[in-house]
């Protein structure tokens, strides 16, 4: 009888089906948690870009509001005073509009860098995981 068990692997070396199912469940659970953590980090980064872009865009709007006020003041001064006063106000308004344009363009770039609003890297990673799992199941 001792010779009949020499060719077979021992039961202690091979995990049972229940143990294999338990390990697979634990690994799947860990994989899902890791993927969710990755998605959370990716969305946090995209949110930071959107916040920065929206802030710059808003700052551009505020500067444009000041430029509009300055332009209105320049028109009033042009009608009421001599050339140097309104000319100075007009120059300030032009400079403020230029600053507003630059801020708006920078803000738009920040917002477009964050688009689309989905965790792309995580999506690709999950798809790769699903493909790998399907490949192992079909073996």
Provide the CA 106 distance to its chain's centre, in angstroms.
Answer: 17
Closest C-alpha among 32, 39, 30 to residue 120: 39
pLDDT tier, 81 (very low <50, low <70, confident <90, very high otherwise): low
For residue 128, pLDDT over 60 is answered with yes
Average pLDDT of the residues in 31-54: 88
DSSP secondary structure string, 36-67?
HHHHHHHHHHHHHHHHHHHHHHHHHHHHHHHH
CA 75 to chain CA mean position, Å: 44
The pLDDT assigned to 32 comes to: 87
Helices 120-137 & 17-80, crossing angle to 10 degrees? Answer: 160
| Helix, strand, coil in percent for the chain, rounding step 5 | 80, 0, 20
Q: Output the pLDDT for position 117.
A: 72
- Whether residue 51 has pLDDT greater than 80: yes
- How far out from the chain centre does Cα 29 lie? 25
Q: Where does the pLDDT of residue 82 fall: very low under 50, low under 70, confident under 90, or very high at 90 and above? A: low
């Amino acid at each position: 009888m001792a010779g009949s068990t020499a060719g077979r692997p021992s039961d202690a070396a091979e995990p049972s089906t229940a143990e294999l199912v338990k390990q697979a469940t634990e690994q799947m659970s860990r994989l899902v948690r890791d993927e969710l953590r990755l998605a959370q980090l990716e969305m946090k980064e995209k949110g930071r870009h959107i916040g920065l872009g929206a802030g710059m865009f808003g700052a551009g709007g505020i500067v444009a509001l000041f430029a509009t006020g300055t332009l209105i003041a320049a028109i009033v001064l042009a009608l009421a005073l001599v050339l140097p006063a309104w000319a100075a106000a007009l120059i300030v308004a032009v400079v403020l509009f230029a600053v507003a344009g630059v801020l708006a363009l920078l803000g738009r770039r920040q917002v477009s860098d964050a688009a689309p609003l989905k965790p792309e890297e995580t999506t690709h990673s999950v798809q790769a995981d699903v493909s790998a799992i399907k490949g192992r199941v079909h073996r």
